[in-house]
Amino acid sequence: MRETDKIWMNGELVDWADARIHVGSHGLHYGSGVFEGIRAYETPRGTAVFRLRDHLQRLDNSARLLYMELPYAVEELRTACLELIGVNGLPECYLRPIAFYGYGELGVAARGNPVDVVIMSWPWAPYLGEQGLKDGIRAKISSWQRVGPNVIPHVSKATGIYLNSMLAVTEANRAGYDEAILLTAEGHIADGSGENVFIVKDGTIYTPDLSTSILPGITRDTIIQIAQDLGYTVIEKNLIRPDLFLADEVFMTGTAAEVTPLRSVDDVELGVGPITLALQEAYLDTVRGRSERWSHWLEYAAPTPAEA
């Protein structure tokens, strides 16, 4: 992680090194927090944030599912994100808003604890690597199951849920793979440690249904809409392990990972297919402001000279 100048913390811009919390913070002990990952891209019209309001609304929804009331409205957080981008002067960056129960009581119930809200920004290359975007990555089916839908609210992007993901991807990395794919207790494909999964078979695109305990990814939603606009059929349904092995193409999506092909799953070679590359190109054209069709998803951090 490359340090930048400022971090937005509880309504104030503070120096990177001074953005600290107490070791007794509830969120540190119990994973009682929610977060988002948002990307800002350099475009011909300046720095643009992709689907900023959608991400911040999901943050607010995630908090509500944890009985957490954010002390800032979505519009206030939006303004803070744009301010932070301007202060740090980054043409491209990754934004990490996070809210968590702070220092107060250390009982499991977060009764009376304050809610701290922080936004970080720093340059971050594609999560699974530039080479991974081009040539694909190797994934492993994890021995760890995805947490069930009635165990933790999977539609909340909550910090504690990611222990499940951390175990899965660490296992995969230790075995020499780039990423993990988690299954549900019933054996249905869920997702990666931080990405949604798509399968291409006979020209049709499939992705697991939300009932498989997956996060309703904003990049997932984006790709579904782009694919449909490009004339592809997208079907949300339960998928099983053999669907991965017999697929023509498999790819993952996420804000950090963008659109990353899977060249193999459990050493079954798949290669990188044309539909994946077409969707990847359309997505990158969209977030980088090279496509007018989906330009409504971009929010510019500062006006262009012509608009100023």
Which residues are marked as active site?
157
**CA pair distance 171, 292, nearest whole angstrom:** 42
- H or E, element range at 123: none
Amino acid at 236: E
Contact 224, 124 (CB under 8 A): no
DSSP 165: H
Nearest partner of 299 among 37, 5, 46, judged by Cα: 46
CA 102 to chain centre: 24
**CA pair distance 56, 37, nearest whole angstrom:** 10
287 phi and psi angles, rounded to 5 deg = -70, -25
Residue 172: CB partners within 8 Å, gap ≥ 6?
139, 140, 142, 178, 179, 180, 193
- For residue 152, CA distances in Å to 62, 160, 164, 214, 253 come to 11, 9, 11, 11, 22
Pairing of strands 258-265, 249-254: antiparallel
